[in-house]
Chain A
């Protein structure tokens, strides 16, 4: 026998009200005899199946269902909901705090997080707090999480379950299967990463979400993964995604009034030449790319390996833009 979704919703609301109103633990049989919707169920087996599903549904929602016996004389465990555990405690938000919360709820541009933010805001408003979703419309926050791997990885991190997925170490590399104990997903400088313990390499690893396939699978029991206490996920990503520490210095001559961006990230020449700047070198290819982009406006003075790398890039540009590709031959 099946019941309509509407009848089930009605039964669940009545179950919550009934268990909130009792101090005694109520046995399943008592509940069956009391709460409308259970009495029509013919067999014991069907009733218990239905009741199990209902309990799971309420717990999924976060309803604190207590199990126990009111006295030693009770033959079986019963159920109740303690009001102080069920109800949202008093929260007194000042107007500027309420504005901050309303903005925070609007931050997520991802179905997995936006839904939870919306229901959280509805609860706060139901508690009488004036959190106006349109408050401070002079500010529009948005944090996107569009990668297909986002929702399953977030769920697995929260549940503490091991995940497997396919991953490319760079966009043109071949995909390989990884098995990871997930500690959390991290947005660092606008890009999403998974941080966790890579079981194959037996080490902490960060994975760009855009390089993870849509084949994320959670395996094993809940609670199997516990992040190390006080682990700083953002710091782990920052260390892995950021540039390595500088290994040397480069001196660059800049054309007056040009290459402003390069100038902003550089130090003035210790020798006092206004057209020469110093930059830290950590990765030669990154520095070469940056300098070569400015063409004749930024010329490497030293070191020679940076000069050679820049010249190689410029030659490469010339090779890819041969004279023969002019308009005449395209006609």
Chain B
């Protein structure tokens, strides 16, 4: 089993310098830092204890002293610093840093640029040609979002723990409104940055997309979400999942509307032989769903719920009457 060695060897080579920098660290804490069970970390330490310099006498082997539940390196056998960053590791960090620098309002862009320069500098100083040359980073990120203009004020509110008065465009209600919120944290999910905050008007935790914040005013009063207010758990899609209690529509998408299933979270997709797809889709606001449906024309059929079918029909009829095309 080489898979085990491939996972373990980097940890073994990193452990001694890590412990050298933290004399007397609790074994449990080190295990948590490396993301392994404490028993595994103890096995790693026992193995390192058997390793050392040619001669392999008592004075040549890595020496560790255990006191209570803590460990200290007393002889490092020459493993004083970690292995330099691999091409993959450096590229992974550099691309992520560039993405953060590109995300308006998330972190101090100046600090990101300075960190990026130092990481690239450290990774670039390679004396020997690597046996497996990395041709390029192989990955790039472009968020492609124009800043909304209020990012700095929002970030200040989050960092200093103050309430914010937002002027916010809500896409689901298709309207601009003002509200006071208690900031909790900033989320960068895929290409968009969100403020997660307690909305005093809605009396609930809400996500506000930063490029839709037209204006933000940092208030004097502290951010004070009620004790029970919880941020969203999970990652990616879970974070953006519509709120519980949302409505569910059963739809049939013709080929011309199949992009909807790629663009919005949908469930239970079943492809029919004629190229159309049956699925269900959650929505929080009926008016928003009606706008989506009207834009798709005959490429989408609503199977349920009936009130959505009715609302769509009424709006379409009203609009055709304005164009003088009423039936």
Contact = CB atoms under 8 A, between A and B. Distances in A.
13 contacts: A61-B83, A88-B81, A100-B107, A120-B92, A122-B14, A141-B96, A158-B87, A187-B191, A189-B144, A223-B133, A226-B135, A295-B294, A312-B297
A302 interface: no
Interface in A276-324: 288-290, 292-296, 299, 307, 310-321, 323
Nearest to B125: A89
B214 to A, nearest CB: 9
B127 A64 contact: yes
Given A34-B54, A97-B111, A317-B312, A57 B9 contact: yes
Interface stretch (A2-10, A41-49, A212-220): A2-10
Interface centre among A14, A92, A142, A188 (most CB of B within 10 A): A142
B191 A234 contact: no
Contact of A6 (B47, B92, B171): B47
Interface residues of A, number: 134
A138 B83 contact: no
Nearest to B236: A144
Interface of A: 5-6, 8-10, 12-14, 16-18, 20-21, 34-36, 53, 57, 59-66, 82, 84-89, 91-94, 96-101, 103-105, 107-109, 113, 116-120, 122-128, 136-144, 146, 154-155, 157-160, 170-172, 182-191, 210, 222-223, 225-227, 233-234, 237-238, 257-261, 264, 288-290, 292-296, 299, 307, 310-321, 323, 325-327, 330
A233 B142 CA distance: 9
B169 A264 contact: yes
Contact of A10 (B51, B236, B290, B295): B51
Interface centre among A92, A226, A299, A317 (most CB of B within 10 A): A317
Nearest to A56: B131
A142 B187 contact: yes
A327 to B, nearest CB: 6
A21 B53 contact: yes
A289 B256 CA distance: 12
Contacts of A233: 140
Number of chain B interface residues as a range: 35 or more
Contact of A317 (B13, B114, B122, B298): B298
Nearest to A211: B262
Interface in B7-26: 8-15, 17-18, 21
Contacts of A100: 97, 100, 107-108, 111-112, 115
Contact of A316 (B14, B92, B297): B297
Interface centre among A85, A96, A187, A290 (most CB of B within 10 A): A187
Contact of B82 (A87, A158, A210): A87
Those 8 A-B pairs whose CB atoms lie nearest each other, nearest first: A316-B298, A316-B297, A190-B190, A190-B191, A313-B297, A234-B142, A157-B138, A62-B86
Contacts, number: 426
Interface string B128-171: 10111111111111111100000000000011000000000101
A137 B78 CA distance: 36
Given A10-B50, A318-B316, A293 B139 contact: no
Contact of A289 (B176, B188, B296, B306): B296
A288 B323 CA distance: 14
Interface string B71-105: 00000011111111111111111001101100100
B1 interface: yes
Contacts of A295: 290-291, 294, 315-316, 318-319
B10 A119 contact: yes
B66 interface: no
Contact of A157 (B139, B295, B297, B312): B139
Contacts of B140: 184-187, 233-234
B249 to A, nearest CB: 13
Nearest to B175: A260
A interface SS class: helix
B309 A116 contact: no
B144 A238 contact: yes
A92 B134 contact: no
B12 A9 contact: yes
Contacts of A234: 140-142
B322 A119 contact: no
Contacts of B115: 93, 97-98, 100-101, 104
A289 B295 contact: yes
Given A10-B51, A141-B188, A261 B169 contact: yes
A8 B93 contact: no
B143 A296 contact: no
Contacts of B323: 299, 307, 310-311, 314
A146 B48 CA distance: 37
B84 A62 contact: yes
B281 interface: no
Contacts of B296: 289, 313, 316-317
A123 B14 contact: yes
A94 B96 contact: no
A197 to B, nearest CB: 14
A186 B54 contact: no
Given A158-B138, A222-B132, A225-B135, A123 B82 contact: yes
B261 interface: yes
